[in-house]
Amino acid sequence: MNKLFTPHDLAGLQLPNRLVMAPMTRSRAANGVADVLTARYYSQRASAGLIISEGINVSQQGIGYLFTPGLYTQDQVDAWRCVTDAVHAEGGRIYAQLWHAGRISHNSLLMDGEVPVSSVARPACGARAYAWITSSVPGQIITSEPRALETAEVASIVDDFVAAGQRAMEAGFDGVEVHAANGYLFDQFINGELNTREDRYGGTIENRLRLLLETIDGLSQAIGAQHVGVRISPFGRQHDLQPFDDEPQTWLALADELGLRELAYVHLSDQQAIDADCEDDFLVNFRRAYPGTLIVAGGFDQASGESALQSGKADLIGFGTPFIANPDLVERMAHGWPLAQADRKTLYGLHGARGYTDYPRYIEQTVAAPPKQLMTRASFSADALDRESEQASEAEARSTLTSVVDDFFSAWSDAEWQALAPSLAKTATLQSSQHGEGRGLDDWRRLLSTDTSALLWLRTSNHSIVIGRNGQAAASCYVYGLFGRGRQRLLYGASVVLRFRHHETNGHWILTSAHINVNWCRGDLALAAHWRMSPSDSGWELGDAPPVIVSELDSPWALIRDALPQSDAEVAVRELYSKYSWAIDQGDIALLSDCYTDDAAGGFAPMGPLQGRHAIVGQLKSFRRHWPWMQHFADVVRLKLEPDRRHAQMIVARIIPEQPVDAHGHALYGAHYQIRARLEDDGQWRICWTDYRPGWFTNADVPAFDIGITHA
């Protein structure tokens, strides 16, 4: 019997299945207040047995990330009431996760003059908060130095959680979850290596658990223990938490205490880390000490989740990221339907509906997603597969490669190498105009980590992936980043090409090489003293070292000659602009020519109206000579396929790296292109009309289409 889809009694709340939507920060609340999109987002996912909301700040002091919602004002309560009403109208159940980030915060998020608080005045080494880099530019930034809470202040933390719990019930939530995991405030008190306090909240296990237990008891008295859950992450190492001597005993003592309180549940976060880092019998002992409902989360898929239920390790399984792109995750798993992949670029931040409420249910998709299949070497043989099967292979490969690309940039910008390491070939080569050359994981980590200390943020755009029938693939994108130290700033732009091969034995994609070419930088070059050499603000000059990337040789379209057909027409149209931008910026005229139909036309500032491929390419070639360093950073912000699926139009918004967001955190653009594209007989999408429109706008007020489709 498949237990995932059986009901469960959660302290009197009847759950129709055992899939829990785990709490996930999305940073979508512009003013700390939930809105109509929040209501739509959660109500779309109401078929989950239980929804646990994103972390909700219990006070302004507790904020650790921009654009996260709160429950400390009446406006916030009223807004959450709209969310819970929407979820309940769809038959769902929802708990509010109550959160205080503690030292994982930044001064710019707090009231004037305040600094983050913690158990002790010790910062989290290498930890970053999503905060204001400048007064108008948000991004990942090193957390501020915290101060230790005074003994007399600790009671106010309990009061804030109790008040937020009462507001949550007023707002219609079915209960609350205390966020005591992942290195945030409660973890900062529980951890014996960090918490060196000498008062009643530090030292012994009993003292280090005191704040959390006082908070749980206060909430239980105020709203009822049956409405209170708690999330913990035993042996967690997030945000610079270190091992400590009595670690297993601490967590088992907590299990004993929680077992006495008849709570709704205990939620273990990062279950895979627990399995890997602690004694085999820890979970058995924890389960014995805490007999109530146990939720486990962290990297589960349907099979491993079912196994955890069947073995008795857990009563409910938390799924996080899969719920983002699959609002109907329960139905997809129940019917064996394929899962969609989340767009990692829109996981956080103010992107409107994009990447938030625009993921369709499986039955709403006009074309069903291709079934998943193991990609053996045979799946890249043109003779063995028809076009439909090739598209299925392309879709599966693209999903995997997209994740590896994201892992690469997480490693570069945040020194998060754990996810990338398994996908990196042992002899993978790195060639970089600024970092030098290296081979293998240790060299990659050593070279790229030189950027981390001064890097305020790193963003990517203009992504493309080309997958070959021979088990080879290549990806390209643009990068723009900002170094900062004190008042010093250095902005730079780069081009990146990654190469992959398909492992014949295990079916995995392996990253084999990375080429990074910095095209320009502006600002204080002292911040790039660790670079081998730096371009001027006009790019590389005659006599500089040979470029790492040669457009005609190193683009994905040159490296992969026999490509699989793209499985998703919208992706193909989006990547058409990436192909165009690479061609014009890198000076690859043959590739540029392949971006246009013979009868292409439109407005080409500053040249004016042009007609025909030859005229367009000739003028753009002359234009390119004057700005050899230019990069057309851009996002496709609107796209529409016509019913014939052979014509499309899109709006491409130009990113200005000096000002990528407005004062409210919305993505900001300095101009846009209105583009028409046509699918030609060779299976390639090409531009048939384009017009350039200057003028600032944000992703909250994207221009409408104002050119029609001509079916030529």
pLDDT band for position 381 (50/70/90)?
very low
Residue 332 has pLDDT above 60, yes or no: yes
Residue 369 has pLDDT above 70, yes or no: no
For residues 71-77, give the mean pLDDT: 97
Distances (CA, A) of 48 to 42, 173, 178, 331: 10, 15, 20, 9
Within this chain, do residues 552 and 456 fall inside the same structural domain, yes or no?
Answer: yes
For residues 225-230, give the mean pLDDT: 98
For residues 491-511, give the mean pLDDT: 88
pLDDT value of position 543: 47
Residue 355 falls inside a structural domain: no
Q: Hey, is 527 helix, strand or coil?
A: helix
Query: Is 450:435 a contact under the CB 8 Å cutoff?
Result: yes
pLDDT digits (tens, 9 = 90+) for 522-569: 888 888 888 876 655 555 554 455 567 777 788 999 999 889 888 788
CA 659 to chain centre: 21
Return the CATH number at 57: 3.20.20.70
pLDDT digits (tens, 9 = 90+) for 82-139: 999 999 999 999 999 999 999 999 999 998 879 999 999 999 988 888 888 776 678 8
Residue 598 has pLDDT above 70, yes or no: yes
Residue 272 has pLDDT above 80, yes or no: no
Rounded CA separation 190/119 (Å): 9
The DSSP code sequence of 656-697 is: -TT--B-TTSBBEEEEEEEEEEEE-TTS-EEEEEEEEEEEEE
Within this chain, do residues 440 and 554 fall inside the same structural domain, yes or no?
Answer: yes
Residue 379 has pLDDT above 50, yes or no: no
pLDDT band for position 270 (50/70/90)?
low
Residue 55 falls inside a structural domain: yes
Number of compact structural domains in the chain: 3
| Dihedrals phi, psi of 234, to nearest 5 degrees | -55, 135
Within this chain, do residues 607 and 562 fall inside the same structural domain, yes or no?
Answer: no
Rounded CA separation 190/185 (Å): 9
The domain containing residue 252 runs over which residues?
Answer: 3-129+145-346
Within this chain, do residues 422 and 509 fall inside the same structural domain, yes or no?
Answer: yes
Residue 351 falls inside a structural domain: no
Query: What value does the mean pLDDT of the chain take?
Result: 88
Helix axes 36-44, 74-89, angle to 10 degrees: 30
Residue 286 has pLDDT above 70, yes or no: yes
Residue 77 has pLDDT above 70, yes or no: yes
Residue 711 has pLDDT above 90, yes or no: no
pLDDT value of position 163: 98
pLDDT band for position 463 (50/70/90)?
very high
For residues 498-513, give the mean pLDDT: 87
Rounded CA separation 184/649 (Å): 45
Q: Which secondary-structure segment (H or E) carries 18?
A: none
For residues 173-183, give the mean pLDDT: 97
Within this chain, do residues 497 and 460 fall inside the same structural domain, yes or no?
Answer: yes
Within this chain, do residues 257 and 302 fall inside the same structural domain, yes or no?
Answer: yes
Within this chain, do residues 435 and 334 fall inside the same structural domain, yes or no?
Answer: no
- Give catalytic residue positions: 184
Residue 305 has pLDDT above 90, yes or no: yes
Residue 573 falls inside a structural domain: no
pLDDT digits (tens, 9 = 90+) for 443-455: 999 999 888 878 8
Residue 278 has pLDDT above 60, yes or no: no
Rounded CA separation 467/53 (Å): 38
Rounded CA separation 125/103 (Å): 11
For residues 1-9, give the mean pLDDT: 93
pLDDT digits (tens, 9 = 90+) for 660-669: 888 777 889 9
For residues 316-337, give the mean pLDDT: 95
